[in-house]
Structure 1
Amino acid sequence: MDRFVSTYAMRLDSKGRMSVPAAFRALIARDGLEHLICHPALDLPALEAGGTRLMSGIDSLIERFPPYSEAREQLAGALYGAIETLKLDSEGRVMLSENLKAHAHIQNEAVLVGLGDRFRIWEPERFRSHLAEATAKVRALKQQLGSRGARDIRAEEA
């Protein structure tokens, strides 16, 4: 698998270290990295983490704006300026900084959620709430797409 997939519940140990799932570490290692790239999500109480593909996504997003534009400068500062490199230890653990933990409200537990090119790190209760809201939106979208498809098919048959 060449994507971050699945959801993993993790505990932080007494020193504040968190294990990174082997499947996620394998993707990071394929990038030739021995660390995670991590930053606070811009619009969620969660952390964005990953490797080279996460950085490429950030680069692509910033490059959409004209050089030296105010929007580009603000976005670059908000993203590049907030990135932390989290060194993976020999047992596949990382230490989340106090700043990262505070942003995501993480204390003793975290949930790592695969998003394909990156993964998010959540405080478990906040993730459950986010997932419930996202699931409701997806169900509504499915119904909307399903009924639109039926209307389109009926129109074509007429």
Structure 2
Amino acid sequence: MDDLFRGKHHVKVDGKGRVSVPPGFRRALEAADPNCGPERNATVYIAHWDGEPFLTCMTVRGMQEMTEQVRAMHPGDPDREALEEFLYENVEELRLDDTHRITMPKHLRDAAGLEGEMIFGGRGDRFRIYSPDVPKPAVSRLAQQMSTRPAGTSPFALLPDRPRPPAPGPRPGE
């Protein structure tokens, strides 16, 4: 399970836009990058869409899977054209340096309002980077979903129902 992004990490960004990638996130990036090895550091893909107060980060494998899904769509499909625009114009490819940092381009820092400190928030096969100043509901789908439930409801209540195994004991007709 080293290929999943878990946890919430507050990290500092220096004046040149360099930020250390948390160790668990680094391991997940390395595990999902077939080109990563002693001579080549892991790659991360960082996407931004106007209106979102965060950056969405993906692994090499994740980007490859999305690219394959888009390529499987009909070339004239307007959704394909929109996805191509998003994936190929709004996604930056960055490589970790030898000290496990990425240098975040200024336009991405500006787009997400990142100054001084940022949060890396795990989302399983992706992660988000956002400012600690962003209101929680703007970056948290969990907060949005839980606000529609009765107070005291556990987030585990969001899990889909699954079939229960039969109770032990004799079956009807035995």
TM-score normalized by structure 2?
0.71
Bigger Cα displacement from structure 2, 67-76 vs 8-17: 67-76
Cα distance change on mapping 1:136 and 1:74 into 2, 3 Å: closer
For 1:11-26, list aligned pairs within 5 A.
Answer: 11-26=12-27
Find the aligned partners of 2:117 and 2:10 in 1 and give their Cα distance.
7
- Greater per-residue helix proportion: 1
Residue 94 of structure 2 corresponds to which residue in structure 1?
86
By how many angstroms is 1:51 displaced? 0.8
Find the aligned partners of 1:97 and 1:138 in 2 and give their Cα distance.
34
Deviations along 1:64-119, whole A, 9 cap, x unmatched? Answer: 74223233112211222221111211111101111111211111111000000010
Instruction: Structure 1: state its 5+ residue gaps.
Output: 150-158
Instruction: Structure 2: state its 5+ residue gaps.
Output: 162-174
Partner SS for 1:125? coil
TM-score normalized by structure 1?
0.77
Q: Which aligned segments of 4 or more residues in structure 1 are displaced greater than 6 angstroms? A: none
Residue 107 of structure 2 corresponds to which residue in structure 1?
99
Residue 121 of structure 1 corresponds to which residue in structure 2?
129
Find the structure with the greater CA-based Rg: 2
Residue 6 of structure 1 corresponds to which residue in structure 2?
7
Residues 111 and 127 of structure 1 are in contact (CA less than 8 Å); yes or no, is this contact kept in structure 2? no
Q: Which has the higher contact order (CA 8 A, sep 6+)?
A: 1
Partner SS for 1:126? coil
Q: Percent identity?
A: 27
**Given the alignment, which residue of 107, 117, 123 partners 1:109?**
117
Residue 56 of structure 2 corresponds to which residue in structure 1?
48
Count how many residue pairs are aligned between Structure 1 and Structure 2: 146
RMSD of aligned residue pairs (Cα, Å)? 2.7
